[in-house]
Every structure is written in structure tokens, then in C-alpha cells.
Amino acid sequence: MIDHRFVKVLRIIVSRLENKGINWVLGGSLNLALQGVEVTPRDIDLVTDKKGAFKIGELLKDYEIKKVGLTKSEKISSYLGKFCIEDLEVELIGNFRAKTSKGEWAKSFKPKHKVILKMEDMKIPASPLEVELKAYEILGRVERVQNIRETLERKRKQKASNGPLN
């Protein structure tokens, strides 16, 4: 069960971003939880491209704690912004890139594949579990990768058992 605060904040985000022509998806732990992965979300992650990061930054400006800007570390690069809505942290990640275990920069993540999650009267664009799996593999988040794989396997088995009768 997702804490009602997440639903309230998602409602604010969706209402501000829908029909604005921005390419974005819900990512991270809340996305995983909404798709059946056993995780407890602590924040909300919005994933977009560089252009979307700046547009979303403007649309959420009244909640801003860290203005959208390029953030680089040894392993990660993105256009990052942070917001606080209803006491929940919202992290905005644009043009996310991470170094692979071989030390090479992976291709920038831009939301190309989406699933639409329906919650109450909202339609939330979200990153598919398969895409999240690849991102967490690159980041080396072993436990999260295992949780996602288990959920994908469970869903595959459910789908197979609900298939057509022969």
C-alpha cells in the first residue's frame, strides 16, 4: 500500500505536467512499488531529458530546493533539480548518464519506453520495469536488481498461467 502523501504529490505533479509536451516518466522506488516490486519509496523521482528538466524545473519552481543544473560525479552525470512537495522530496533527473563497470559512460537515458500507470483518476507515465532493471544494473544496485528480477519473473509466470486454454 502506497502512503497517501505520494498520491497527493503525484496528483500535483501530473496536473502541472500533463499536456505540456514534456517527455517524462516516473522512475525510482515509487515507480517500482507501483509496479509491484517490494520496496518502500522514500521520495519521488521524475526522469526526463535535458530540455524537460528545465521545463519541469520552471513548472515546479514554487517547490524548488535545488535549482536544475548539471551535476557530475565520477560515476554519474545528470541535470538534477530537487523539490519539496507536501514534505516529500521530489528529485528531477534529466539526461541521466552513469559509468558502467568497465568505466565507460552509458548512453544518456531519455524516456523512450513508457508504461501508463492508472491511479485513481490519474494516468502516470512510468519507466517500464525492464528499463529500471538496466539502470539499476549499471548503478550496481544488486539488491534492487534482484527485487526487480523477482517481480518480472512473477509477472511472467502469472501471464503464462492466465494464457489461453489449449
Residue with cell 560525479: 73
Alpha-carbon distance of 22 to 53, in angstroms, equals 9
Alpha-carbon distance of 117 to 143, in angstroms, equals 24
The whole-number average pLDDT for the span 55-78 is: 96
The whole-number average pLDDT for the span 154-165 is: 81
Flag the least confident range among 53-62, 82-91, 107-116.
107-116
pLDDT in tens, 20-42: 999 999 999 999 999 999 999 99
Q: What CATH number labels 4-128?
A: 3.30.460.40
**How many other CB atoms are there within 10 angstroms of residue 80's CB atom?**
21
* Domain segments of the chain as ranges: 4-128
Q: Mark out the alpha helices in the chain (DSSP H runs).
A: 4-17, 28-34, 50-59, 129-139, 142-161
- Contact predicate 24/111, CB 8 Å: yes
- Contact predicate 135/112, CB 8 Å: no
Q: Is the pLDDT of residue 164 over 70?
A: no
Q: Would you place residue 103 in the very low, low, confident or very high pLDDT band (cuts 50, 70, 90)?
A: confident
How much of the chain, in percent, has pLDDT values that exceed 90?
A: 75
